[in-house]
Structure 1
Amino acid sequence: MFRSCRREVQRALSEEGGSNLVAFAMVAIVFFMITLGAVEFSRAIYYYNIISNATRDGVRYAVVRGSSSGPACGTWSSAKCMASTTDVQDYVRSRVPGLNAASVTVTPTWTPNKAPGSVVQ
C-alpha cells in the first residue's frame, strides 16, 4: 500500500502539466512590457512633434504680427494687429491638443525689441 502511494506521489511530482502555464506567464510579462514600452515611446514622439509644431507656429504668429502690423490684438485670433506676449502664449497653448494648456510654459522674446528685423525666440 505504501509503495502504491509513493508511486502516485512521485508520478504527480514528475508531471509537467503546469510548466506551460509558468512559461506563458514569463513570456507574457516580457511581451506586455515591450508592447507598452513601444506605446509610451510613440506617445513621447507624438508630444515632441506637437510641441515642435506649436513652437514653430507661435514664432510665425509673432513674426507676422510685429510692431508694424497695427494696433494691439484684441484676441489671439485677430488679424493685422501687433501681438503681445500674452497673445503669443494663448496662441501656442491653443495649438497643443492632448496636453494640459495650463502646464505648457511659453516665454516669447523679441531681441532687441518688437521692431521689424528683430529676432523672435
Structure 2
Amino acid sequence: MKNSLPKLKRQRGITITEFTLVAVVFMFMLFSIIEGARYVYTNGAISHLAREGARYASVRGEQAGKDVLRSSDAPATQTTISSYISGQSPISDITTTVSWSPNNTPGSEVSVTITHTFSSIVTLFNDVELTSTATNTIYF
C-alpha cells in the first residue's frame, strides 16, 4: 500500500495554495478596476467643473452688473469663480485658474482651468495630475 490517506486529504494542502495564488491575483484585479473607475469619474468631474466655471464666467462679464438677476455677483472675478466651482465640486483639493482674453468685456474669451492631483488608494500606482480647461465667449 503506497499511500493510505484518502485522495481528498492529500489534496487539502494544494487547494489552500491554489486559493491563495488565485485570491491575490483576483484582489489585485478588483482593486485595479476600482481605481480605474475612480480615475475616470474624477477626470469627468474635473472636465465638468471647468465647463461650469467657463459658463458661469461667460454670463457675468463687465456688463452683467446692469442685469438685476446677476448684479449681486457680477462681474465675475477669480475669487467668485473659484467659490462657485468649489461649491459645485464633489472633489476636494482642486485648483482653479481663470484668464480673460483680452479682458472681461462682452465678445472677449474667458478660460477656466481646473487642476487636481489624483491619489490612488492602492500604493502601487503613482499620483496623477489631472487638468481640464474650458473656454467660452463672454456674452454680458
Q: Which range, TM-score by smaller chain?
A: 0.7 to 0.9
Higher relative contact order (CA 8 A, sep 6+): 2
**How far did residue 48 of structure 1 move?**
0.7
* Mapped partners of 2:80, 2:102: distance in 1: 19
Q: How many angstroms apart in 2 are the aligned matches of 1:61 and 1:106?
A: 13
Tell me which stretches of 4 or more aligned residues in structure 1 moved more than 4 Å.
none
Q: Report the TM-score, using the length of structure 2 for normalisation.
A: 0.67
- In structure 1, runs of 5+ residues without a counterpart are 1-6, 72-77
Amino acid aligned to 2:51: R
Percent of aligned pairs sharing the same letter: 33
Shift of 1:120: 0.8
Which residue number in structure 2 is paired with residue 112 of structure 1?
A: 102
* Alpha-carbon distance between aligned partners in 1 of 2:43 and 2:12, rounded to the nearest angstrom: 48
Structure (1 or 2) with the larger CA radius of gyration: 1
Give the Cα separation in 2 of the matches to 1:88 and 1:105.
11
Q: Which residue of 2 aligns with 1:66?
A: 61
Once residues 12 and 64 of structure 2 are traced to their aligned partners in structure 1, the CA distance between those partners, rounded to angstroms, is: 79
2:86 matched to 1:93? Answer: yes
Aligned residue in 2 for 1:29: 24
The match for 1:45 is: 40
Alignment partner, residue 75 of structure 1? none
Q: Distance in 1 between matches of 2:102 and 2:37?
A: 39
Structure 2 counterpart SS, 1:120: strand
* Cα distance in 2, alignment partners of residues 105 and 118 from structure 1: 23
Q: What's the TM-score, normalizing by structure 1?
A: 0.76
CA RMSD, 1 decimal: 2.2
Any stretches of 5+ residues in structure 2 without a counterpart?
Answer: 112-140
